[in-house]
Amino acid sequence: MIVTVEHATTYRYQDPVRGVVQSHRLTPARFDGQRVIDWNVHVSDGVPGGGFRDGAGDWVQSHSAHGPLSEITVTVTGRVQTVDLAGILRNHRERIPPEAYLRETGPTRPDAALTELGRDAISGVDAALDAAHRLAEAVAEAIAYRPGSTHAHTTAAEALSLGEGVCQDHAHALIAAARSQEIPARYVCGYLCDEGEIAYEASHAWAELWVAGLGWVGFDPANACCPDGRYIRLGSGLDARAAAPIRGVARGGALENLEVHVSVNEAQQ
């Protein structure tokens, strides 16, 4: 299918800032499941800087804007042709070994409850793929999707204790549970076509688990499925902060207000 994206992120500053420097992971990943037809990232008053492909295979592009600035908008538009690969990240070139994704971070640090959830989910399961599915199902059952119930800094342990959260919490919890059982796992950020029962106000998130013999396989506990043709994969990292589509700093220290609008749809073919 062909998926269209319109994504605008506006930063407004209480007082004008002297400048803004940003790092973007806003370019669709290269693998067999998706092909870019056209794609454009525009930064208002911005000048593109250097770009590079990191060890995880993601394209990272820098932008800067000189002030004084009261606001800056990052606009993404494009079309991507996708293929359903049942969540398998086939022919994605990267240099980082899977074992690097066993390292825990603050948001993904497993507590006793997450470790127990992971252990119980895969108890008696021999096949690696079955174990990964069981983990994703356990997280989906333990954490109900409820917008506004958590915030950007909620940890996986806190979301599990609360029993509700958003896609970021589902991804963090699955990563934590998997790593607690020595299964490499990472956070993925991207887009999901607006055709399901869940409406997202921003980009979407899910997790990838390393499955011997298959490689990286995606799991989306928020929708109880593996990524299919409705998904566009942007980039990955140890957690949400590392995989964020936009990271940056404003020179001036003013209070910042963020506004995001995302529309992801299937194109008429």
In order along its 269 residues, the chain shows pLDDT tens digits of 999 999 999 999 999 999 999 999 999 999 999 999 999 999 998 899 999 999 999 999 999 999 899 999 999 999 999 999 999 999 999 999 999 999 999 999 999 999 999 999 999 999 999 999 999 999 999 999 999 999 999 999 999 999 999 999 999 999 999 999 999 999 999 999 976 545 455 789 999 999 999 999 999 999 999 999 999 999 999 999 999 999 999 988 778 899 999 999 998 65
DSSP 31: B
Instruction: Report yes or no: 252 and 15 within 8 Å, Cβ to Cβ.
Output: yes
Cite the beta strand spans of the chain per DSSP E: 2-24, 34-43, 47-53, 59-82, 144-145, 164-165, 185-192, 204-211, 215-219, 231-237, 246-251, 256-266
Per-residue pLDDT, 269: 55
Q: What are phi and psi of 115, to 5 degrees?
A: -65, -40
d(CA 150, CA 166): 7
To the nearest 10 degrees (0 to 180), the angle between helices 112-122 and 128-142 is 130
Q: What pTM was estimated for this model as a whole? A: 0.94
> Domains (ranges, CATH) in the chain?
2-81+246-266 (2.60.40.2250), 84-237 (3.10.620.30)
d(CA 267, CA 171): 28
Instruction: Report yes or no: 213 and 130 within 8 Å, Cβ to Cβ.
Output: no
Per-residue pLDDT, 195: 64
Structure-token pair, residue 64: 């800067």
Per-residue pLDDT, 197: 47
Structure-token pair, residue 243: 């995989």
DSSP 222: T
Per-residue pLDDT, 254: 72
Could you give the 3-state DSSP secondary structure of residue 111?
coil
